[in-house]
Structure 1
Amino acid sequence: MNSPWMTDFLTDPLSFWRTAATTGRALIASHTPLLATATATGVATLVARPLLARRRAKVFARGARCVSIQAPPQVSDHGGELLWAQLSGLLRPWWHRLASGQPHIAFEYAWTHQGLNISLWTPSQVPIALARQAVEAAWPGAHTTVTDAAQPVPAGHTVTAGRLRLARPEVATLRTGHHVDPLRALLQAAAGLNDGERVIVQVLARPATGRRRRRVRRAARTLKTGHHHRFTPLRGMAAWAAHRPQPALEARQDADHHTAVRQAADKLTGPLWATSLTYAASTPPSNSAREAVRGRAHAIASAFGLFAARNWLVRTRLPHPHQRLTRRHFPHRAALLSVTELAALAHLPTDPDAPGLTRAAARSIPPPPSIPPPSSAARPLGHSDAGPRRAIALPTHAARHHLHLMGATGSGKSTLITHLALDDARHRRGLIVVDPKGDLVTELLERLPEDCADRLVLIDPADHRPPPCLNVLEGDDSDMVVDNIAGIFRRIFAAFWGPRTDDLMRASCLTLLRHHHTTGQSVSLADIPRLLAEPAYRLRITPGVNDPLLRGFWTGYDALSEPAKTAVSGPLMNKLRAFLLRDFTRRAIAHGPSTYRLDDVLNGGILLARLPKGTLGEETARLLGSFLVARTWQAATARAHQPEHARVDASLYLDECHNFLNLPYPVEEMLAEARGYRLSLNLAHQHLAQLPTDLREAISTNARNKIFFTASPEDARALERHTQPSLAAHDLAHLARHQAAARLLTDHTDTTSAFTLTTNPAPPPTPGRAHHLRQSANRPPTTETASSPTTRETLT
């Protein structure tokens, strides 16, 4: 009250204001250049800042790309934190920021009626490889694909958009601890879109600069010193109540204050991100479009209420949504969030049944360096689908440990077998293919080299010429021949094959073989019905049998009455008649002496057996294929008299292998011994349920090279023991077409880790090649012999 200006004001107010105005004009006149400069600078700054921001936004949007993310089957709860912690290294030095700005990235959720797509938008200034590696490291098993940045909202759509900002100062934290995935509410709010409707949520983020960090640190220090009235303002009755002596309330406020200080300190311990969250809903124009998108946008914004704690998100209007959403425009004032807060807003859904989310397909694993390229000593398999593209092959010496091929129909098995078989033919390895469908042999005939005609044996019921004959009742070892025939029939007709039928088959085959060895006359399976049904023929064959057990068997058989003989031989006769009444089958295995030798085929020849079940019948096809496998094994074991280095590598390919491995001896023994005879078995089938338990375990243990195409979830869980830890069951069940998981043997002792490959397309067919090979195949004509005059009439 004693100051001079106050005394003047009280005594003469009018004079006081006149003096003050005069003094002000004098001050302004004396500082006019300085004020003008300051005003011009302020105006220029206000005008230049948005212009510079728009220019930089255009530069960032030019050439931007999107990393589309497919979630793995199991998403880690902390994957988002790992992602944003890795990407914190994108912060540029201050001179780069001053020259060209700080690029930002956008984590985007985009919904259509087809489902949810999650992507990471990156400007051209951010290395795309860095973004992909960060995503795949944060969520192991996730798949990333790079595409050009698309327009989030189509032009002409009715759009309602908004931006979410922090309601309180940045030092206050959002809620980050959730018992369930906080995105669950967001996913549900965006579910059930109609055709043409779209919803997008963009989380724009860039690393915080030092100035922003210092500002929030000052706010944290102010909060720590107790001046928290700036942080939690109280007004009106609340302020009056706060000053009343209430010990319990003060204690509670102190506890809340300490919690807030601790949370603010935790927020400032790691990297900080300037973050802007934008959302939009759009639909094609219609009378009710505005109400529809407003309701959808309201539901999207409300879903972020789960993050409310000491701080929360409030909605603001987003002007010009099409332009801002397309350019991913980063606002000048963006919220400052910690890595944990940002990860809570932008991460992959952790719910295994998240609606509309597309899960990742199989992981692509590069092959080990020890896998060789194709050569004369390595069979081509395809090329790598991860890492540098290179050709992949299976060494010939490793192929002797056999190959297990499994995959659903149409996944690529036949294409791979085609490449392997063609490579064997080109390098003059022995080649035998047994095909129960027929398409595989047809594809091979269209692609085999022309010089294969002189060493080709073709078994095809569609060919009207006489087929080549392989008499299964031939061989130096009578006991092995009989065991093979009886064992094959017993396995194929297991439900209708008893001990009496087995005894009758063995006695008949042994009798015919003893007659052949004694007289030199050719015998075949077609002679068994005559031996059992015609007394005159039996009387001509049995006197030459010197074995007392066989002689006693036929003496007892002749002593039976005709009805008893019919009852005893009926179960065997009906199976033989069903097999031999087919003209093609009878000519192929029971029409006189053999017209080709499987020993020659294994030494560089080619045998293609086309045995379609639709033409021959399932049981007949299985019998023919099983006889071929059994005779192939006999020819392979005959190599024991040759030095190992003189044995030519040969391959036996069995498509639908479970139909033809009906042998009287354990398959695991054949697989274990075939390697020494340089016979590699390539066993292909569709699913594990096709294999009996003993066969499944034998192939799992002894076929050491594994190539799996896409499998069912049940089979994938059983097969993952061969591919872990590189590939899990989800990967095996989600392989793409012509993509396979492989685990190969590269030398005689070590098996590589599992990897993925893509098979090459089949080579183009040569016009007219199949017809030429059919006509030129090495199939000498067969003639009827005196010892095998069986006809359809005598069989019936």
Structure 2
Amino acid sequence: MQISISLQIILSILVLIILVKLILSWIKKNERNKKIEWMESQKYTILHILVPRDNEKSPTAAEQMFASLHGIFHPDAKWQEQISFEIISRDKYIHFYAHVPTHFKDFLEGQIYAQYPTVEISEVEDYTDDDFSYLKAVGCELILNKNDAYPIKTFQSFEVDPLSAITSVLTKVNDDEQIWIQIIVKPVSDSWQERGIKFVESIRGGHSSEKKNILLSIIKSFINFVFELISVAGSSSAEAKPVEKVSEVKLSGPQEAALKSVEEKIVKLGFSTKMRVALLSPDEYAGKAKTAIVAGVFKQFNTNNLNGFEPTKIVSGREFIKSYQKREFYDDGYVLNIEELASLFHLPTVAVETPSIVWAGSKKGEPPADLPIEGSADPDELTIFAKSDFRHLVHRFGIKIRDRRLHMYAVGKTGTGKSTMLENMIIDDIVKGKGVAVVDPHGDLINHVLNFIPNSRVNDVVYFNPADRDWPVGFNVLENVDPDLKNIVASGVVGIFKKIFGESWGPRLEYILRNTILALLDNPDSTMLGIMKILTDKDYRKKIIEHVKDPVIRDFFLNEYEKYDPKFRTEAIAPIQNKVGQFLSSSTIRNIVGQPKSSIDIEKIMNEGKILLLDLSIGRIGEDNSALLGAMMITKIQLAAMRRTNIPEEERRDFFLYVDEFQNFATESFAVILSEARKYRLGLIMTNQFIAQMDEVVAKAIFGNVGSIVSFRVGATDASFLTKEFEPVFEPNDLVNLDNYHVYIKMAINGVTRPAFSAITLSPSKGETTNIEKIINVSRERYAKPRSFVEEKIQAWSDEQYRLAKNDFADKDEKIRKILYDERKGSKVINGYNEIKDQAGKKWYIAQEAGAKKSEENQPVESPVKNKAKVEEVIEDKKESRTSDEARDQENIKPDNSNNNHHQNHNQRVKETFTRNKKTPDTRELKSILAPILERKFQSRKQKDTNQGLINVDDLKKFTNPPSNINNSVINNDNDIKTLKADEVIKFK
């Protein structure tokens, strides 16, 4: 009877247990659905995490990050938010992501930045939303093979970063395959540590550590309890058994070590965890094989006497991928502490040499607190050109006008975005009505700018395009120069040619060229064409010197240059003739710089805030021509700025000069512009590709005077140099790895240079106009002249200079040279006179030699008497009223010291012969006087010179200025070396 009752009780209890189980299952399912509904109602954000290649943060940093993330735990919340950390390989590149509730995004970013300050975090689209319907999906989960109280092997026990093995296996995919690894975590309460303590106690008490079915354990315990009750009821007389004391079981060494590891695990914060591995591949079979390999790499965390991972069954189909996409985590998972999680997920360091990791290109720097962002200042006072990119501080910003007066310099490789930044700033200035000048050696920048000039500013544009050959614009750098600024102009022009001459430059050349330019500056209507003429044309030179006021310049030409040995003079001016001649030989350039009156007034352009566009395309006018015109224009702008001293500073209108690839135009005098331009309200914005393009003097001026420096991506050499400007925030590797349009800026703000920070320059402007053709036509009408008209004027100027020089300076020496021109060749005997023609084709008559035959056939074209009078007039002594300078000039070159007395005697004889009774010199008498000189020179030359067949006749010139062409001995001008063949000397005798 008692047994029957007992069975009934047992059956009733079993039924009750089953009912309880069913109820609990329904409740659990209901809770699960609610949890799913709650989780799906949350908004999530995907963060892409990039770390610099030089990251040295160990997994300890990740451990600290997870410890901080435990702060999202809500003890009173029904459900806990979860964060998924993911490593994927796609297109053979490895990426690191975090999937986080949107309301926790800033918190997660902050914790990551706290441990990894140099990382880049950006919000991106979920990569699992991409179309991969053409691929087969397979995957599995990773679970622990023992009770989660046991720890896995952590990074503390690895000699090599365990992440290296994970990333290495992720590279073993084809181009059309993807591998996804997902680690979902959510913080748990400290109750798991209490369970861990009980677990340790149970092991020490001799209980198995194997996992048990909780429900079966409860049923078994309950049945044992019932049987004990029956047993007690059936034997009332039985005595109660004493309670046995449970003694601790003696454990082996490995068991003790395992329990010690458990105790070490539970002292740290824990997260409930779920891990998945998914693989997408066109081949399902190959995908399963590779999934097993990826899952197998996590066995590196396994330890025999502790814990480890094992994969669940690899499944295929969309259901598994759907769980991955939703980041499903509805059960309790298993608990890993923060050290274990840091071992599984941390950002790669320099020790991880996997080649396919997507690293951050460069560091990001925090902008200054007083950065002038858009909306913080008057729009007319702020030029917007970039946006900050430090973490979540993304703001469009610009530079104030007062700081632009301190100048801006940008450097970076070609194609990195320098011209785009200039374009945006130029367009902003133009739209706001500011005055600008743009010097463009390529033409592309100006072509873009022309597309954005509004209708209201079409008439303000001065378009200077030397390649527009049919419509040359007049530009004379020597025109109307303030006497106080002449030396600055000379230095500027000399600096321009010095830059181009390169290795052929020397102090003597600079000395001659500087004096030449200063001489031309004292003469009205002088142009660059005068440089060649004054050096090679004695007549023109004398005309120019007449107007020179500077006694030093006069003395140079009269007493030094004129007395140069012809060979020495030729060598001295050859580089000038080469470069200047090449410059002026181009009709395109000559038609621009050869106009005495400039058609563009730089000073007016600056003071009225107009737009000067200098299209100096190297491809269309040549590199040297582009450099010369650009440097001359910059010099003229400098002069115009310096003339603003007459305008009160508060009334000076800001004008901004943009120079792209400015190294093409930068001379040593550029340093003066940088140091002085600010006070004249001239702001420079310059760019170039690398620092070595600049002269050392210019480079020092740039980095010593420029208020704002912008660096795009540069080479290693420049990076090392620029680091001095951007440290301690940025290092050389950062400057080398900048992306296009990304920059580091050290900017002046309110007159004070702030520490460097990172930014992204703005995209090209939008909103093009259709005014280009109209702008070009208006500019032509106002500032250019037809080509034929300009060339006619230049030719007329050249002819006029020759005529004036011939009339003004046909002195004794010059006329003797003309009279004796090719005396014998082609001469005619008319009425007792030899008729010859000078270089200009004019006829002259010299008394015939005694015994010479007279021609009765030829009749004189001009009156012999009249021309004879001319000859007699020529040979008169110069009157004493001539200036001492002219007298010194008349002597020309001093005789050789070794034969000084001999030369003086012959010189006196020649002079006496020419002046005695105003008698016309006959040829025989002239030859008899000159023969000893020629003979002596010939013998001396024959002994000393290896070139024995030639004789220098400069000594002959200094007495008589003999013909410049005798017996086919070609002489181009007075500056060439004059030689006669030896046999011709004998004939002449």
TM bucket, shorter chain: 0.7 to 0.9
CA contact (8 A) 2:82 2:184 kept: yes
Secondary structure of 2:35's aligned partner:
helix
Shift of residue 576 of structure 1? 0.9
Q: Residue 371 of structure 2 contacts residue 397 of structure 2 at CA under 8 Å; is this kept in 1? A: no
Q: Which residue of 2 aligns with 1:312?
A: 307
Distance in 2 between the 1:453 and 1:321 partners?
A: 65
1:145 aligns with 2:123: yes
Determine the structure 2 residue equivalent to 1:379: 383
Deviation for aligned residue 1:560: 6.0
Structure with bigger gyration radius: 2
Verify the 8 A CA contact 2:744 2:756 in the aligned structure 1: no
Post-superposition CA distance 1:211-264 (Å, at most 9, x none): 4332112224556xx55785699xxxxxxxxxxxxxxxx99955x666555543
Q: Which blocks of at least 5 consecutive residues in structure 2 are unaligned?
A: 212-248, 803-971, 974-989
Is 1:359 the counterpart of 2:359? The answer is: yes
Counterpart position of 1:188: 168
Match of residue 499 from structure 1: 507
Following TM superposition, by how much is the alpha carbon of 1:554 offset from its aligned partner in structure 2, in angstroms? 4.6
Return the letter of the residue paired with 2:536.
Answer: A
Query: 2:267 aligned with 1:269, yes or no?
Result: yes
CA 1:331–1:279 in structure 2 vs 1: closer, same or farther (change >3 Å)? farther
Deviations 1:34-73 (A, max 9, x none): 5433211113324553564466346535654432222233
- Percent of residue pairs bearing the same amino acid type: 23
Matches of 1:166 and 1:680 in 2, distance apart?
68
Cross-structure match for 2:767? 764
Over 3 Å counting, the alpha-carbon distance change for 1:53 and 1:359 in structure 2 is same
Indicate how the Cα distance of structure 1 residues 786 and 627 shifts in structure 2: closer, same or farther if over 3 A, else same.
closer
Q: Specify the alignment match of 1:345 in structure 2.
A: 344
Residue of structure 2 in register with 1:87 after alignment: 69
- Of 194, 201, 208, 1:214 maps to 194
Question: Matches of 1:788 and 1:633 in 2, distance apart?
Answer: 32
Please name the residue that 1:484 is paired with. 492
Tell me the distance in 2 between the aligned counterparts of 1:316 and 1:483.
81
2:129 & 2:543 partners in 1: Cα distance? 91
Matched, 1:698 2:701: yes
C-alpha change, 1:450 and 1:554, in structure 2 (3 Å) is farther
- What's the secondary structure of 1:143's corresponding residue? strand
What is the distance in 2 between the residues matched to 1:204 and 1:57? 15
Q: Shift in Å at residue 159 of structure 1?
A: 4.9
Q: Give me the whole-angstrom Cα distance separating, in 2, the residues matched to 1:24 and 1:105.
A: 57
Task: Name whichever of 750-759 and 46-55 sits farther off.
Answer: 46-55
In structure 2, the CA distance between the partners of 1:432 and 1:265, relative to structure 1 (3 Å rule), is same
Aligned position for 2:520 = 512
Q: Which amino acid aligns with 2:65?
A: L
Post-superposition offset of 1:534 = 2.9
2:776 equivalent in structure 1 = 774
Look up the match of 1:239.
none
Structure 1: gaps (5+ residues): 1-21, 234-249
Per the alignment, in what secondary structure is the counterpart of residue 111 of structure 1? strand
Q: Which of 388, 397, 402 is the aligned partner of 1:392?
A: 397
Whole-angstrom distance in 2 between the partners of 1:427 and 1:361: 36
Match of 1:674 among 649, 674, 677: 677
3-state SS, counterpart of residue 541 of structure 1: helix
Q: Deviations over 1:421-476 (max 9, x none)?
A: 23433455432211101112222222223343444322102334433322122322
**Once the 2 structures are TM-superposed, how far is the Cα of residue 523 of structure 1 from its aligned partner?**
0.9
Aligned-pair distance for 1:399?
0.9
Q: Does 1:67 align with 2:69?
A: no
Partner of 2:296: 302
- Matched with 2:369 is 368
1:232 to 1:32, Cα distance in 2 relative to 1, 3 A: closer
2:90 is aligned, of 112, 115, 128, to 112
Within-5 A mapping of 1:520-599:
521-545=524-548, 547=551, 550-551=554-555, 553-554=557-558, 557-558=561-562, 565-599=569-603
8 A Cα contact 2:386 2:759, kept in partner: no
The DSSP-based 3-state class of the residue aligned with 1:127 is helix
| Residue of structure 2 equivalent to 1:421 | 426
Partner of 1:15: none
How far apart are the structure 2 equivalents of 1:331 and 1:420?
55
Give, as a single letter, the amino acid of the residue that structure 1 aligns with 2:192: R
Q: Is the 8 A contact 1:61 1:123 kept in 2?
A: no
In structure 2, the residue matched to 1:18 is none
**Separation in 2, partners of 1:213, 1:138:** 26
Separation of aligned partners in 1, 2:296 and 2:433: 72
Contact 1:367 / 1:384 at 8 angstroms: preserved in 2?
no
User: Of residues 656, 659, 663 in structure 2, which corresponds to 1:651?
Assistant: 656
Give the 3 Å change call, closer, same or farther, for CA 549–366 of structure 1 in structure 2.
closer
Change (3 A) 1:367 1:774: farther
TM-score, structure 2 normalization: 0.68
Task: Give the TM-score normalised by structure 1.
Answer: 0.84
* 3-state secondary structure, aligned to 1:675: helix
In 2, Cα distance between equivalents of 1:642 and 1:349: 62
Residues 25 and 258 (structure 1 numbering): CA distance in 2 closer, same or farther, change over 3 Å? closer
Q: Tell me if structure 2 keeps the 8 A contact 1:724–1:754.
A: no
Relative to structure 2, which stretch is displaced further, 70-79 or 604-613? 70-79
Aligned to 1:201, the other structure's residue is in SS state strand
Query: For 2:44 and 2:456, how far apart are their aligned partners in 1?
Result: 55
Give the match for residue 440 of structure 1: 445
Q: Conserved in 2, the CA contact under 8 Å of 1:402 and 1:705?
A: yes
CA contact (8 A) 1:433 1:441 kept: yes
Match for residue 869 of structure 2?
Answer: none
Q: How many residues align?
A: 737
1:638-687, Cα deviation, whole Å (9 max, x unpaired): 22333322222111111111111113x3x444322221222111111123
Deviation (angstroms), 1:394: 1.2
**Is the 2:144–2:310 contact (alpha carbons within 8 Å) kept by the matching residues of 1?**
no
What one-letter code is carried by the residue in structure 2 that aligns with 1:215? R
For residues 189 and 342 of structure 1, the distance between their equivalents in structure 2, rounded to whole angstroms, comes to 19
1:41 has 2:39 as partner: no
Shift of 1:190: 2.2
Aligned to 1:627: 632
- Pair 1:35–1:671, CA change in 2 (3 A): same
Counterpart residue identity of residue 324, structure 2: L
CA deviation after TM superposition for structure 1 residue 342, in Å = 0.8
Query: What is the SS of the residue equivalent to 2:186?
Result: strand
SS of residue paired to 1:493: helix
Distance change in 2, residues 1:714/1:338 (3 Å): farther
Q: Identify the match of residue 606 of structure 2 among 588, 602, 609.
A: 602
Give, as a single letter, the amino acid of the residue that structure 1 aligns with 2:6: L
Q: Which has the higher contact order (CA 8 A, sep 6+)?
A: 1
2:109 corresponds in structure 1 to 132
Partner of 2:380: helix, strand, or coil? coil
Matches within 5 A, 1:236-275: 260=258, 262-275=260-273
CA shift in 2, pair 1:260/1:653, >3 Å: same
- Evaluate the alpha carbon distance shift between residue 487 and residue 184 of structure 1 in structure 2; reply closer, same or farther with a 3 A threshold: same
